[in-house]
Structure 1
Amino acid sequence: MSEAKSVNGFLIKQAEDSQWWIRNFGDTENIAGPFTTEATAIEVASVLQLEHPPVARRGKDKT
């Protein structure tokens, strides 16, 4: 197995069965996969977007 790579905030990691997975940055959950090549996993990870909670509004104009 090779070392995990970071792409666009995700980890590209090879599993014991030689398949490639896209995992969250905390390495606690699979996001996508399996992929047969590392290049394919990197290509997919490069277009994924991280979901962030909405920004809290401050002041009078909370909507």
Structure 2
Amino acid sequence: MDPDRAELSSVSTSLDDLSARVERLAGSLQRRRQDALAADLYEVERALRMAVRRLAQVLRRLD
């Protein structure tokens, strides 16, 4: 495997994991009625998901 591709794949996996963690934290805040903070974290989670999708596009182009 190309070293750049392997590194980008690892970054993508890490971002995916971070996104899931942020989503869980946002859900926890929402259950505690801290809706403004939860909304901010959901926005962060969406940005991370978009980054994962963009990296997937880059990885496909490297093939």
> Which structure has the highest helix share of the two?
2
> Which structure has the highest strand share of the two?
1
Larger RCO: 1 or 2 (CA < 8 Å, sep 6+): 2
